[in-house]
Every structure is written in C-alpha cells, then in structure tokens.
C-alpha cells in the first residue's frame, strides 16, 4: 500500500506540473495573439515608419499571414507634393513577394525598374497624398522593403506567417 501511495503522489505531482505548463502556454499564446504577433492587428503588429527627412511615412503590419489580405498605407505630407504628378517607388524584393489586389488612388502610370516599381500618381501641389495598397503576401518568411518618394526613402520589415 505504501509503494502505491508514493507512486500515486508522484503521478499527481507530475499531472499538476503538466497542467500548469499547459495553462501558462495557453495564456502566452492568447497574449501573443492579442498583441498582434499572429497576423492580427495589435500593438506589436501595427507599425509606422518614416523617412529621415519626415517627407514620407509608411503604415503597415509587421506580422501578416501568407495569402491573407492586408494593406500598406503611404502618406506624403503637403509640403512634399510639389507637382501634379508624384512618383512613389516600391522595392522590387518586396513587390516580388506580394500579389497586389488594389491601389488607391489608381496610378496614372507604372514604371518597372531594376530596383523597384514606380507608381506615378496624379496629385495636387501643396495637398497631402495618401496611397493605400491592398495586397496578399505570397511567400512566407522575412520580407524587407522600402518606399520612396523623390529622395525620401522609408525602409520597413515584415515577417510573413504561413
């Protein structure tokens, strides 16, 4: 009877430990999800970066899901819009790993270069520009990119989940 009670006590101790580990693991996953680490919007996923001269900002999700619709928003302040056309460049490495579903406002012209794709947009001098690109990441993994307007460039980085 003594040996059986001792085994039973050890079993209950291991069972309690396994339950605690499971509870902490589930809690950690819930917190990570709420913070946006699994592709949802959240304080750790939503990010805004800008160029050094503050003539360009890029709002994006750092942790999107592969094949899930997401967007990137490029904002150019009014003092940076100087003509009736503004060219916005997007890095080729980032564009190669995305499937664009819509661009708003629509580009007047698209120019494909060795370093990226340039979208010529109709603008009003002195009026700010907000460009929204809706897309689906096609490849999982680490995805660096950049957006450029004139000489202003903002770099960003995404990690695409499966």
> Over 80: is that where the pLDDT of 43 sits?
no
Q: Quick: pLDDT tens for 53-72.
A: 999 999 999 988 888 899 99
What local confidence, expressed as pLDDT, does residue 19 receive? 86
What local confidence, expressed as pLDDT, does residue 41 receive? 61
Residue 142: band (very low, low, confident or very high) from pLDDT cuts 50, 70, 90? very high
What local confidence, expressed as pLDDT, does residue 88 receive? 96
DSSP string, 57-92: EEEEESSPBTT--EEEEEEE-GGG--SSEEEEEEEH
DSSP helix, strand, coil percent of the chain (3-state; round to 5): 25, 45, 30
Q: Quick: pLDDT tens for 79-127.
A: 999 999 999 999 999 999 999 999 999 999 999 988 999 999 999 999 9
């Amino acid at each position: 009877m003594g040996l059986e009670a001792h085994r039973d006590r050890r079993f209950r101790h291991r069972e309690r430990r396994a339950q605690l580990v499971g509870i902490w693991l589930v809690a950690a996953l819930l917190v990570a999800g709420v913070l946006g680490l699994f592709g949802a919007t959240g304080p750790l996923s939503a990010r805004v970066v800008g160029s050094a001269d503050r003539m360009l900002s890029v709002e994006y999700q750092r942790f999107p899901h592969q094949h899930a619709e997401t967007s990137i928003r490029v904002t150019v302040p009014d003092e940076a819009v100087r003509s009736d056309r503004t060219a916005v460049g997007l890095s080729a490495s980032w564009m190669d790993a995305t499937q664009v579903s819509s661009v708003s406002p629509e580009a007047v012209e698209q120019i494909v270069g060795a370093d990226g794709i340039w979208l010529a947009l109709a603008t009003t001098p002195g009026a700010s520009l907000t460009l929204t690109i809706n897309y689906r990441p096609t490849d999982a993994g680490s995805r660096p990119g950049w957006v450029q307007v004139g000489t202003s460039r903002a770099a960003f980085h995404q990690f695409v989940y499966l």
